Structure 1
């Protein structure tokens, strides 16, 4: 193997920078926040279709995963979230609480995400002590899961006669 081949063999090509990935996710979070804002308060924790959970319960799941997961990727501290029980007290079951927690969670993601090194993206982790995979695949799951639940929120809004925010506007 020549020196040039050795350099090429160890070179890692990046599809997207971590900064751009974070910016994309934050754009998704802005849109998801608008869906929470659009949801009728009295339906947030009561309205269901076809056995799906309420949108409020879905948002709680997203809150349990996002910032906690990113922090776990940096510190290996995955918190104590029980992924079979995204519990909320009755006092927490308000739109105001969800939006406040959403904003805090977004701030935490913005804080922790840049601390994930390029090498760390390729490492294998056991997210929340349960889900083994590369850091990058776990991050993509967090984002995909948010998009999935936001889409369910869109369906709920439409069925409630509420026009959801434009799905393409992540500003």
Structure 2
């Protein structure tokens, strides 16, 4: 798929860099939290601590990448045992390293392939839509992390620094 005569509309390396820039920012948000608040603080009872949101981000990334790249669909908890900030950051790095290992298996055709939703019972969607969902989910939860930090009196990282 191209725009004009020579520039691809879907550039796999460009997409990976978007994911990487967003992850670098998410890591800085995690680092800004005091250890206890990362795992305990929630402004109201119906919300989760930011660490729980990060674990969800990692589960979705790990499982989507495994499914898209290898055709193996299973939903797990890759960061379940992360109970310290260091453990959570290490889990973030492990999951992203796995994404980088699997990334060369992706093709534009594979990303445009539409398959049934393997986890949530939603309508069929393309694998690109799955990756965009994972990115939107990370951005959404990172935004919650920004609010939590501000409520704790902590200035969050600059949004534009990726």
Same fold (TM over 0.5): yes
1:37 and 2:31 correspond: yes
| Number of residue pairs matched by the alignment | 154
Match of 1:148 in 2: 140
Partner of 1:137: 129
CA contact (8 A) 1:72 1:127 kept: no
The alpha-carbon deviation at position 78 of structure 1 amounts to: 2.1
Q: Which residue of 2 aligns with 1:65?
A: 60
Query: Pairwise CA RMSD of aligned residues?
Result: 1.8
Distance 1:129 1:110, change over 3 A: same
**Greater RCO, CA 8 A, separation 6+:** 1
Q: Relative to structure 1, is the Cα distance of residues 87 and 118 closer, same or farther in structure 2, using a 3 angstrom cutoff?
A: closer
Separation in structure 2 between the aligned mates of residue 21 and residue 28 of structure 1, nearest angstrom = 11
Contact kept? 1:74, 1:115, Cα under 8 Å: yes
Tell me the equivalent position of 1:104.
94
Cα distance change on mapping 1:48 and 1:105 into 2, 3 Å: same
Q: Answer with 1 or 2: which has the greater Rg.
A: 1
Q: Measure, in 1, the Cα distance between the counterparts of 2:130 and 2:67.
A: 11
If the length of structure 2 is used for normalisation, what is the TM-score?
0.87
> In the TM superposition, what whole-angstrom CA distance separates every residue of 1:97-124 from its partner, at most 9, and x where no partner exists?
1000000111111111231111111101
Q: Which moved more, 1:25-34 or 1:118-127?
A: 118-127
For 2:153, the equivalent position in structure 1 comes to: 161
The runs of at least 4 aligned residues of structure 1 exceeding 6 Å deviation read none
Equivalence for 1:8: none
Q: TM-score, structure 1 length as denominator?
A: 0.83
Corresponding position of 1:125: 115
